[in-house]
């Protein structure tokens, strides 16, 4: 048997995959305990009884580039084209807690997302958008508290109280240490900040999803589907423990936890992955943490199609990849979905590409029959078998993390990062050898690619942001800013919740970078072990 044939007999997670499945593969399978009913424990078949037969998932397109004004224009276009929720991409300086005029920000302002330095920028970003009607997701982690508070303050300027706001902050710092790198503070301080956000939102923004615990970025770094859900749920357990240690009741914060996964082109395994993740989380919350509220046991998640599988070669072929990936997410029961644009392997998406990505979701929702029944794959020999296999493999990996003392201790040892890097290396070898086919890259290639004009960010944006910051600092009450930042540092040095003084600082004109610097001065910065 050839190497290619051998590979076809295993899943992306390296688990056995048979050419034919039958009822014998489900011998002893108890639907009552393994499946349940849709909307009921263990939520294998979906977190809501009616799923998409009641209404489709939220179509949430990820967008943001350049200045707040430019991104605001793109958001208005997306809403006009039928987007049900906005998802904000921030530039690297914003993600790292630096203002646009910081030396480390030079050359990166507005490049991979929108630059947000202050409340003034946030007001421009959402100008004319009804924040009590639009659900907003913000892909921000270490400085998530600042961006959330700016958003709340911007809504209040529209006359909208925090009790009416809906959306999500990613706020998942542990995966940054594992796979992405936009961390600021050490793990213990990061967990404290996250617990403070849970507490603040419980009373101030009660409909907000306070964290989106992400497997997506680990998958983009090379994690297998089993690793993706295992390391994500292991991180989630760490967040729950941190909140409990801070004195919060599990059923007060757990209903607002949400998750974020990738959807690859391996459709069957992805469907099984989502179903296994729901079942695992339900059991963890009920049996390990004693959650009584069914909403605390539900794994609600957002999905993004796999950016790492997009190719710069023959980019139009990515439209097919994204459609298949989106279909897998829908068949797996996602609550919201972002479909990547076909040109994202080259540059920021053009307006046309972003519109086509949204149209892909609309076709899935309104031109197919996949929304007409709940959990179409329930009882499938292959999918139920794969769900069981993935659950077992993920549990083994979760236990390996627990044996090391939990997610933080495992991160400090480099366990998750090393496991993911080994998987990524294996895939790279398979692509290089041709064992794994990537259409347009190592098979079915063209002698010459067609010309493509990408969207480019104007380098003058950096100067514009710096001018806005200079104007802000010249016109604000510096004494009030200094006093507010001092209160923030006092809270950070003690045990008080830092979000209330942080809110005050942003309200009087403190920038995101100044707030992050104030906390850096007290908590320090994280340096990974492999940086020594």
Grade residue 3 by pLDDT with cuts at 50, 70 and 90: very low
What's the rounded Cα separation, in Å, for the pair 483 and 514?
13
Average confidence (pLDDT) over 352-357 = 92
- Token digits of residue 173: 């710092």
Average confidence (pLDDT) over 343-361 = 91
Average confidence (pLDDT) over 132-155 = 96
Question: Could you tell me whether strands 211-214 and 208-209 are parallel, antiparallel, or unpaired per DSSP bridges?
Answer: unpaired
Question: Could you tell me whether strands 211-214 and 135-139 are parallel, antiparallel, or unpaired per DSSP bridges?
Answer: unpaired
**What's the pTM?**
0.92
- Hey, is 223 helix, strand or coil? coil
DSSP class of residue 179 equals I
Ranking 83-87, 121-125, 524-528 by mean pLDDT, the lowest is 83-87
Work out the end-to-end distance of the chain between its first and last CA atoms, rounded to an integer number of angstroms.
46
What's the rounded Cα separation, in Å, for the pair 330 and 371?
8
What pLDDT is attached to residue 83? 83
Ranking 159-163, 343-347, 472-476, 489-493 by mean pLDDT, the lowest is 343-347
Say what the alpha-carbon torsion angle 109, 306, 257, 497 is, to the nearest 10 degrees.
Answer: -20
Average confidence (pLDDT) over 15-29 = 92
Q: 180 Cβ partners below 8 Å, 6+ apart?
A: 217, 221
- Based on DSSP, count helices (H) and strands (E) in the chain, helices before strands: 22, 9
* Contacts of range 424-429, beta carbons closer than 8 Å, 24 or more positions apart: 424/221, 424/222, 425/222, 427/222
- Hey, is 218 helix, strand or coil? helix
What's the rounded Cα separation, in Å, for the pair 198 and 211?
8
Look at the alpha carbons of 394, 400, 406, 409 in this order and tell me if their dihedral is positive or negative: negative
pLDDT above 60 for 7: no
For the sheet containing 211-214, what is the strand order?
208-209, 167-169, 135-139, 85-89, 58-63, 336-338, 301-305, 257-263, 211-214
Grade residue 531 by pLDDT with cuts at 50, 70 and 90: very low
Calculate the alpha carbon distances from 32 to 58, 298, 379, 413 in Å: 29, 17, 12, 40
| Closest to 187 in 3D by CA, of 206, 175, 174 | 174
| Closest to 377 in 3D by CA, of 46, 40, 116 | 46
| Closest to 338 in 3D by CA, of 212, 464, 200 | 212
What pLDDT is attached to residue 224? 98
Question: Whose structure tokens read 């963890």?
Answer: 284
What's the rounded Cα separation, in Å, for the pair 354 and 347?
12
Grade residue 8 by pLDDT with cuts at 50, 70 and 90: low
Grade residue 458 by pLDDT with cuts at 50, 70 and 90: confident
Count other C-beta atoms under 10 Å from residue 356's C-beta.
18
Question: Could you tell me whether strands 211-214 and 85-89 are parallel, antiparallel, or unpaired per DSSP bridges?
Answer: unpaired
- Hey, is 339 helix, strand or coil? coil
Question: What's the CATH class of domain 3-19+57-433?
Answer: alpha beta
CB 98 within 8 A of CB 462: no
CB 205 within 8 A of CB 147: no
Strand (E) or helix (H) holding 211:
strand 211-214
CA angle 295, 134, 70 (to 5 degrees): 135
What's the rounded Cα separation, in Å, for the pair 187 and 398?
19
Calculate the alpha carbon distances from 173 to 139, 170, 176, 193 in Å: 11, 9, 5, 10
Is the bond into 374 cis (omega within 30 degrees of 0)?
A: no
- Token digits of residue 20: 């034919």
User: Per-residue pLDDT tens for 149-177?
Assistant: 999 999 999 999 999 999 999 999 999 99
User: Per-residue pLDDT tens for 89-99?
Assistant: 999 999 999 99
Q: How many residues does the chain have?
A: 532
CB 301 within 8 A of CB 260: yes
| Closest to 232 in 3D by CA, of 306, 307, 179, 295 | 179
CB 180 within 8 A of CB 222: no
What's the rounded Cα separation, in Å, for the pair 288 and 283?
7
| Closest to 209 in 3D by CA, of 161, 242, 257 | 257
């Amino acid at each position: 048997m050839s190497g290619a044939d051998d590979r076809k007999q295993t899943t992306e997670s390296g688990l056995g995959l048979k050419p034919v499945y039958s009822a014998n593969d489900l011998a002893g399978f108890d639907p009552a305990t393994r499946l349940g009913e849709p909307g009921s424990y263990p939520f294998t078949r979906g977190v809501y009884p009616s799923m998409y037969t009641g209404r489709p998932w939220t179509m949430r397109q990820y967008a943001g580039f350049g200045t707040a004004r430019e991104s605001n224009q793109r958001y208005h276009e997306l809403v006009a084209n039928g987007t049900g929720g906005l998802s904000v991409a921030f530039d690297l300086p914003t993600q790292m807690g630096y203002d646009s005029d910081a030396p480390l920000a030079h050359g990166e302002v507005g490049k991979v997302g929108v630059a947000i330095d202050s409340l003034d920028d946030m007001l421009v970003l959402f100008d004319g958008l009804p924040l009590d009607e639009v659900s907003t997701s913000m892909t921000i982690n270490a400085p998530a508290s600042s961006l959330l508070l700016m958003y709340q303050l911007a809504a209040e300027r529209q006359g909208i109280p925090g009790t009416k706001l809906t959306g999500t902050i990613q706020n998942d710092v542990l995966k940054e240490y594992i796979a992405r790198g936009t961390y600021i503070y050490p793990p213990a301080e990061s967990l404290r900040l996250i617990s403070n956000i849970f507490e603040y939102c419980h009373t101030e923004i009660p409909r907000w999803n306070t964290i989106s615990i992400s497997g997506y970025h680990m998958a983009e770094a090379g994690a297998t589907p089993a690793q993706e859900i295992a390391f994500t749920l292991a991180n989630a357990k760490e967040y729950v423990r941190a909140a409990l240690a801070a004195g919060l009741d599990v059923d007060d914060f757990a209903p607002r936890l949400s998750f974020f996964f990738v959807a690859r082109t391996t459709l069957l395994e992805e469907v099984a992955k989502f179903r296994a993740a729901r079942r695992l989380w339900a059991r963890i919350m009920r049996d390990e943490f004693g959650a009584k509220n069914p909403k605390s046991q539900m794994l609600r998640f957002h999905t993004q199609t796999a950016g790492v599988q997009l190719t710069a070669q023959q980019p139009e072929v990515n439209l097919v990849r994204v459609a298949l990936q989106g279909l897998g997410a829908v068949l797996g029961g996602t609550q919201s979905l972002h479909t990547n644009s076909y040109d994202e392997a080259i540059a920021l998406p053009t307006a046309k590409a972003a519109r086509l990505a949204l149209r892909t979701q609309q076709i899935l929702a309104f031109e197919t029959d996949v929304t007409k029944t709940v959990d179409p794959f329930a009882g499938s020999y292959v999918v139920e078998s794969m769900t069981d296999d993935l659950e077992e493999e993920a549990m083994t990996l979760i236990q390996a993390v627990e044996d090391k003392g939990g997610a933080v201790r495992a991160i400090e040892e480099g366990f998750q990062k090393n496991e993911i890097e080994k998987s990524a290396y294996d895939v790279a070898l398979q692509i290089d050898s041709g064992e794994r086919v990537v259409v347009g890259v190592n098979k079915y290639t063209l002698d010459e690619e067609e010309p493509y004009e990408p969207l480019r960010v104007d380098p003058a944006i950096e100067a514009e942001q710096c001018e806005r910051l200079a104007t802000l600092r010249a016109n604000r009450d510096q004494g009030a800013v200094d006093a507010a930042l001092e209160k923030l540092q006092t809270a950070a040095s003690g045990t008080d919740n830092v979000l209330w003084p942080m809110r005050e600082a942003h309200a009087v004109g403190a920038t995101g970078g100044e707030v992050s610097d104030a906390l850096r001065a007290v908590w320090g910065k994280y340096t990974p072990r492999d940086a020594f």
